[in-house]
A and B are shown apart, each in its own frame.
Chain A
């Protein structure tokens, strides 16, 4: 009796399985090729900021050029698929209401708005990716655009067969020390120790910078960001190093943030920005100019609150060209002529995006620094809309 029942269950399950995994065997054919990825990714996943990760070995793959532009594909699909991060504070996080939010996610939204006029469930899908998934997701066209705290480097530009858009966030490695130590530069760490996360470019940069500065120090290496910070808090090391944006946010988590100071020195360059598949200029143009729209709007003082008024009333040809009241710049990019109005209305200009995710009202309170307009001594600069 038992056996019959069992065999019945068994045969039904078998049917389900056979129905479900028709194309399955492909997995095992390929599974022996890429083992190092596991350890590298495991290390990377432990980090808070993946701008500092070990450079992963991206398999170089020739992907056939799609016949039309990605823009046409996205429009036909009715939905933008944006590769994002689900666990980097301030940049890409799953909020308690089940939606993604963050600085990078807002740029995903901006691109979706530029194409469709709105960014909601039906027009934008955020696909959370791990650091090692992202080149493949880009190369295989699984995602349309990658906006996932990705540092623009030569090898990524070439080996990933990716193109990088305008940098949206300029980051760099910094060093935190106790105020009471009186240390003001790297030389001050002579004979001291530095807490650093293992397996990161941060660790390599630290070694490079310290040897260049001729400083003898002892690196104390920890497997992930929280452990590293905890070790520093317990006084195990004299200094603590990671990306400056990370330092600033993690400083708030220390028991007495005011006892600590971040040194002025910047030990590496980490420009973060959107990336898209190589060789699709029409698509790249749209992503680039969506970013420039947010920067240009800040330059012109256009915000989500006043953008519609300005678009309706302004007589300034510079403003009108950008907002689509004059000329056909938007149409030229393949989207609505007033795409920039919609982007600013829905997502905001650069300052609004920045303040919403990283600004003074957030626990991170990251100073604008390099991420300020060129007119304020930063690096943000939008080419002219004309």
Chain B
């Protein structure tokens, strides 16, 4: 007992300056002279900038530029009589997302597989809801040239992601193939695409492609941009995936061969799952990049979110609303990029990337 009392006495409460708010401030903001100087500079900058920004945002800013144009920001020149289809599609995705939150936590394997199938099928279904059918009363055909705004941004990004992923995996495998022709072709493709900026690929797709296609083949500009973005992204993705493949020790494939798996099974069951898990962070980084790169199509005349922003700035009355419009667009890009990023971090935790 005496010993215990002595020990308790030996541990006096730490000085007030080391715990609580003061302690946190001291440790994190005023730990050294340089820290203190940086803290003071940052705080003064914030004190200087934040009120000015808030003052602008709540008094000077003309947010009517954004609010009166919210529908075209969302869907561009898509016919406004058909706006419900865009809302409906967005609603379906939102509902699926909420259901997924619960489904993927359960242990019911069949339920989870069903959910995955629903996700896989959803882009096709949503596509038909948005594009419509010839001579349909409920879902009349909407010309692809009228897809715009955030809708077009998402169509480009989602198609780019789901198309470039398998293509990138194939290219990565091709580059590591033992068959020389496949290896050379894959390498040539990857290096050629990585050697040119995306904007030139988009220009080729928008400007040069019509010249090599037959005169009566009218490929909508949206399709050209979709294909260009997917093909471009695939080359970068292939290199990410190749990095994952190279991280898998040779022992894994030797073990697969030892238990009698053929080449396909080896890749499908042993190598790919491990390789892809390893490269989730760069893959998601690539997808976020792709999402933001869709804004380049505004330069080739498509009315994506940024293109609509530029059009709003030409409307009489909003000619000087650059700050409001571009800030709003930046905010939208941030929200979705951040959502992708946090989803990826959750996925990494679930799969234990870096833990094993």
User: Chain A residues near B75 (CB, 8 Å)?
Assistant: 98
Q: List A191-246 residues whose CB lies under 8 Å from chain B.
A: 226
User: Chain B residues near A38 (CB, 8 Å)?
Assistant: 197, 199-200, 203, 299
Please tell me if the beta carbons of B316 and A17 are within 8 angstroms of each other in the complex.
Answer: no
User: Chain A residues near B272 (CB, 8 Å)?
Assistant: 3, 6-7
User: Chain B residues near A250 (CB, 8 Å)?
Assistant: 319
Q: Nearest Cβ distance between residue A236 and chain B, in whole angstroms?
A: 17
Q: List A1-26 residues whose CB lies under 8 Å from chain B.
A: 1-3, 5-14, 16-17, 20-21, 23-24, 26
- How long is the Cα–Cα vector from A139 to B69 in the complex, in angstroms? 34
User: Chain A residues near B320 (CB, 8 Å)?
Assistant: 226, 253
Among B31-39, B284-292, B305-313, B332-340, the one that faces the other chain is B305-313
User: Chain A residues near B72 (CB, 8 Å)?
Assistant: 94-98
Q: Given that A35-B200, A96-B72 are contacting pairs, would A21 and B230 also be in contact in the complex, using a CB cutoff of 8 Å?
A: yes
Please tell me if the beta carbons of A133 and B206 are within 8 angstroms of each other in the complex.
Answer: yes
Q: Nearest Cβ distance between residue B113 and chain A, in whole angstroms?
A: 7
Please tell me if the beta carbons of A10 and B300 are within 8 angstroms of each other in the complex.
Answer: no
Q: Nearest Cβ distance between residue A94 and chain B, in whole angstroms?
A: 4
Q: Who on chain A is nearest to B203 by CB?
A: A37
- How long is the Cα–Cα vector from A249 to B315 in the complex, in angstroms? 11
Q: Who on chain A is nearest to B322 by CB?
A: A226
Q: Who on chain A is nearest to B319 by CB?
A: A253
Please tell me if the beta carbons of B169 and A63 are within 8 angstroms of each other in the complex.
Answer: no
Option from B145, B231, B273, B311 in Cβ contact (under 8 Å) with A28: B231
Q: Nearest Cβ distance between residue A120 and chain B, in whole angstroms?
A: 10
Q: Given that A38-B199, A363-B317 are contacting pairs, would A93 and B311 also be in contact in the complex, using a CB cutoff of 8 Å?
A: yes
Option from B120, B210, B268 in Cβ contact (under 8 Å) with A13: B120
Does B356 reach chain A (CB closer than 8 Å)? no
Please tell me if the beta carbons of A94 and B199 are within 8 angstroms of each other in the complex.
Answer: no
Q: Nearest Cβ distance between residue B64 and chain A, in whole angstroms?
A: 10
Dominant SS at the B interface?
A: helix
Please tell me if the beta carbons of A34 and B228 are within 8 angstroms of each other in the complex.
Answer: no
Please tell me if the beta carbons of B196 and A31 are within 8 angstroms of each other in the complex.
Answer: yes
Number of B positions contacting A (CB below 8 A): 81
Please tell me if the beta carbons of A34 and B204 are within 8 angstroms of each other in the complex.
Answer: yes
Option from A9, A10, A26, A226 in Cβ contact (under 8 Å) with B209: A26
User: Chain A residues near B113 (CB, 8 Å)?
Assistant: 5
Please tell me if the beta carbons of B273 and A6 are within 8 angstroms of each other in the complex.
Answer: yes
Q: Who on chain B is nearest to A24 by CB?
A: B227
Q: Nearest Cβ distance between residue A222 and chain B, in whole angstroms?
A: 14
Among A121-129, A167-175, A267-275, the one that faces the other chain is A121-129
Does A190 reach chain B (CB closer than 8 Å)? no
Please tell me if the beta carbons of A363 and B316 are within 8 angstroms of each other in the complex.
Answer: yes
Does B71 reach chain A (CB closer than 8 Å)? yes
Among A83-91, A156-164, A286-294, A299-307, the one that faces the other chain is A83-91
Option from A9, A59, A63, A127 in Cβ contact (under 8 Å) with B145: A127
Option from A14, A17, A28, A98 in Cβ contact (under 8 Å) with B193: A28
Complex interface bits, B317-356 against A, C-beta within 8 A gives 1, otherwise 0: 1011010000000000000000000000000000100000
- How long is the Cα–Cα vector from A88 to B316 in the complex, in angstroms? 10
Please tell me if the beta carbons of B162 and A37 are within 8 angstroms of each other in the complex.
Answer: no
Among B12-20, B88-96, B211-219, B255-263, the one that faces the other chain is B211-219
- How long is the Cα–Cα vector from A127 to B230 in the complex, in angstroms? 23
Does A266 reach chain B (CB closer than 8 Å)? no
Complex interface bits, A39-74 against B, C-beta within 8 A gives 1, otherwise 0: 001100100100000000001010110100000000
Please tell me if the beta carbons of A20 and B215 are within 8 angstroms of each other in the complex.
Answer: no
Q: Nearest Cβ distance between residue A361 and chain B, in whole angstroms?
A: 10
Q: Who on chain A is nearest to B75 by CB?
A: A98
User: Chain B residues near A226 (CB, 8 Å)?
Assistant: 320, 322
Q: Who on chain B is nearest to A85 by CB?
A: B314
Does A130 reach chain B (CB closer than 8 Å)? yes
User: Chain A residues near B298 (CB, 8 Å)?
Assistant: 45
Please tell me if the beta carbons of B299 and A130 are within 8 angstroms of each other in the complex.
Answer: yes
User: Chain A residues near B79 (CB, 8 Å)?
Assistant: 98, 121
Please tell me if the beta carbons of A33 and B301 are within 8 angstroms of each other in the complex.
Answer: no
Please tell me if the beta carbons of B211 and A1 are within 8 angstroms of each other in the complex.
Answer: no
CB-CB nearest 3 A-B residue pairs:
A3-B273, A130-B301, A14-B166
